[in-house]
């Protein structure tokens, strides 16, 4: 092989390697976002079950980070530190915490960055979360997004007066 052929071969292998690395990183980001959306839907389902049984959502006057020690479980009393076996109805035995990698930490509450943040007046709720990539199918943006009792939308969570 001549030097030119060798140089072209090395260049092509390098480009293919770079493309493979970029594809793997993109797939990992999409997977983490799918986990985040699954977590949000799981919390939304638990909130709806709670509202169906108790006629309101667990009240939180300020945004609270989910998946921590004090919000580890959700039962009829709301988000609590642990699931008490004597309580008959448990809606979410373990509240999820988001995957750590890939975020710009735009969703923050309770002194934590990169958290699922919950706020509720009782008759409505806001659940703030962040995505690494835009989701065109669901109409969600890269960065901060919001889940409410009416569904999931892009951008900052609206005030309670906006429904």
Q: What is the percentage of the chain residues whose pLDDT exceeds 90? A: 49
Which pTM does this prediction carry?
0.83
d(Cα 157, Cα 47) in Å, to the nearest integer?
17
> What is the DSSP track for 69-124?
GGGSEEETTEEESS--TTSS-EEESS------TT-----EETTEES--EEEE-SS-
Lookup result for tokens 């699931």: 83
d(Cα 146, Cα 119) in Å, to the nearest integer?
11
Collapsing DSSP to helix, strand or coil, 142 comes out as coil
Least confident of 45-54, 107-116, 118-127: 107-116
* 116-132: pLDDT as tens digits: 999 999 999 999 999 99
Q: For all residues of the chain together, what is the average pLDDT?
A: 88
Work out the average pLDDT over 21-42: 92
Closest CA to 140 of 13, 28, 30: 30
Q: With the C-alpha atoms ordered 54, 85, 80, 43, is the resulting torsion angle positive or negative? A: negative
Least confident of 44-53, 67-76, 103-112: 103-112
């Amino acid at each position: 092989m001549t030097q030119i052929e060798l140089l072209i071969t090395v260049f092509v292998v390098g480009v293919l390697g770079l493309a493979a690395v970029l594809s793997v990183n993109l797939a990992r980001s999409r997977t983490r976002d799918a986990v985040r959306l699954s977590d949000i839907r799981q919390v939304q389902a638990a909130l709806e079950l709670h509202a169906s049984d108790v006629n309101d959502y667990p009240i939180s006057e300020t945004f609270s980070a989910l998946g921590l020690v004090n919000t580890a479980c959700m039962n009829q009393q709301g988000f609590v530190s642990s699931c008490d076996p004597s309580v008959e109805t448990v809606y979410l035995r373990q509240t999820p915490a988001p995957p750590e990698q890939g975020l710009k930490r735009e969703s923050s509450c309770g002194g934590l960055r990169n958290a699922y943040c919950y706020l509720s007046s009782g008759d409505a709720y806001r659940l703030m979360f962040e995505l690494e990539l835009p989701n065109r199918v669901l109409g969600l943006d890269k960065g901060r997004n919001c889940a409410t009792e009416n569904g999931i939308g892009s951008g900052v969570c609206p005030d309670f007066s906006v429904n």
